Amino acid sequence: MLQKKANILYVEDDVYLSYVTCDNLEKHGYSVEHCLDGESAFETFNNNEIDLCILDVMLPKLDGFSLAKKIRKNNKDIPIIFLSAKSMKEDRINGLLIGGDDYITKPFSIEELILKIEVFLKRSKISNDDFQGNNCYEIGDYCFDSPNLQLVYQDHKYTLTAKEADLLKYLCIHSNKILKREDILKAVWGNDDYYLSRSLDVFISRLRKYLKHDKDIAIRNVHGVGFMLIIK
């Protein structure tokens, strides 16, 4: 008998597709909590120890994006993978910006899904264990408390999203160094596809707004290469 690797929340209202997917996940050793709608999925999430979420976007009662937002309020670090027939780039980017770690369009390959599950579970464990060591950083006149997602400047206090914090932490670790765009994407998101690259630009803009109070701090766009966190 296979040892259970992790408990996955899988939300899909297509009965046949969910049967096939659940069967394959269980054959790979995963325990699966399957739900047919967003409301029951959120209740299941709150009542069980979940290691990773796989969410369809078009769901009864509560859609996948809204469900992901509710999950993110309770847990900022759990990996979330969207599975959807909606293939418009705006949908993919929206899914990533609200807290999804990946967005896979239907029809999808079970092999690809399993590979992504393995990657995100491994990265989640590393992140929870130590994610590169240090946890608190001084960024000019700012104090960045990475584990608690807090960025403080005098009387300004910002609560970051998990991805904002991961990105800022990676920039801090490599401050005053030019970082390639693809290296940032692989370190923070796990891969460097086009849609994640578009999302990176949005997250960089958010961090610039947070850091605008200290003129000795800048996130420079290095054309054709990537970005550089400058701390004078």
Kindly tell me if the per-residue pLDDT of 135 is higher than 50.
Answer: yes
Q: Residue 89 in contact with residue 20, Cβ under 8 Å?
A: no
Confidence of residue 124 (pLDDT cuts 50, 70, 90): low
As given in the structure block, the two tokens for residue 53 are 């979420």
Identify which of 39-43, 73-77, 94-98 has the greatest average pLDDT.
Answer: 39-43
pTM: 0.60
Three-class SS of 53-84: EEEECCCCCCCHHHHHHHHHHHCCCCCEEEEE
Measured at the alpha carbon of residue 133, what is the angle toward residues 128 and 134, in degrees to the nearest 5? 105
Cα separation, 20 vs 194, in Å, equals 29
Q: What is the pLDDT of residue 100?
A: 86
pLDDT digits (tens, 9 = 90+) for 143-199: 998 888 899 998 888 999 888 988 999 999 888 888 998 889 888 887 766 667 788
Q: H/E element holding 91?
A: helix 89-97
Cα dist from 153 to 136, 172, 208, 213, whole Å: 14, 16, 13, 8
Least confident window among 118-122, 126-130, 134-138: 126-130
CA separation for the pair 160, 170 (Å, rounded): 14
Cα 229 from Cα 188, distance rounded (Å): 15
* pLDDT score for 134: 54
pLDDT tier at 94, thresholds 50, 70, 90: confident
Task: Report the amino acid identity of residue 214.
Answer: D
What are the structural domains, with CATH classification, of the chain?
7-129 (3.40.50.2300), 136-231 (1.10.10.10)
